[in-house]
């Protein structure tokens, strides 16, 4: 995708995918599109992220986030990467105390599911969620 997003005519030959001359338009406005890998938090996953991506998208039932976030940051540093990886948690039930703990752990983003309802109901839900999490 990085090749398609950044080159007028792109081709790629990798371990898992190969494609000949291809074009994708329109191109993104920003120079670098961050790529997060959604997978279980394992050493193998984190090695791949540190070598090829910008962050980790947890699985919905991921356990022991503190230890896994620490392992990802360690793997990131050992790969010679600057800064810190993005860590996005797919959260279940919203809880303000979890947000604080996750922030201390290095979590950068949290995603909650939204109800499949009419716009006004979703907007109302977002207001209640923000209030519950102490964001407003």
User: Do 66 and 25 fall into the same domain?
Assistant: no
* Residue-averaged pLDDT of the chain: 92
- The number of distinct structural domains making up the chain is 2
Confidence at 82, pLDDT banded by 50, 70, 90? very high
CA distance linking residue 49 with residue 84, whole number of Å: 12
SS3 call for 12: strand
Quote the domain boundaries for residue 9: 1-33
- Region 9-23: mean pLDDT is 91
Contact 15, 46 (CB under 8 A): no
pTM of the model: 0.78
Instruction: Write out pLDDT tens, residues 113-129.
Output: 888 999 999 999 999 98
User: Do 122 and 104 fall into the same domain?
Assistant: yes
User: Do 100 and 70 fall into the same domain?
Assistant: yes
Confidence at residue 89, expressed as pLDDT on a 0 to 100 scale: 95
Contact 62, 53 (CB under 8 A): no
Confidence at residue 38, expressed as pLDDT on a 0 to 100 scale: 96
User: Do 76 and 26 fall into the same domain?
Assistant: no
Reply yes or no on whether the pLDDT at 3 is more than 90: no
């Amino acid at each position: 995708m990085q090749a398609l997003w950044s080159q007028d005519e792109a081709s790629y030959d990798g371990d898992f995918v190969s494609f000949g001359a291809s074009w994708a338009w329109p191109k993104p406005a920003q120079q670098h599109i961050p790529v997060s890998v959604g997978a279980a938090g394992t050493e193998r996953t984190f090695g791949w992220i540190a070598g090829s991506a910008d962050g980790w998208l947890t699985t919905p039932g991921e356990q022991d986030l503190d230890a896994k976030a620490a392992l990802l940051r360690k793997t990131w540093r050992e790969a010679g990467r600057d800064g810190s990886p993005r860590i996005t948690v797919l959260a279940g039930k919203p809880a303000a105390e979890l947000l604080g703990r996750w922030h201390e752990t290095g979590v950068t983003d949290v995603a909650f599911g939204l109800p499949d309802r009419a716009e006004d109901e979703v907007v109302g839900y977002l207001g209640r969620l923000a209030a519950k999490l102490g964001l407003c």
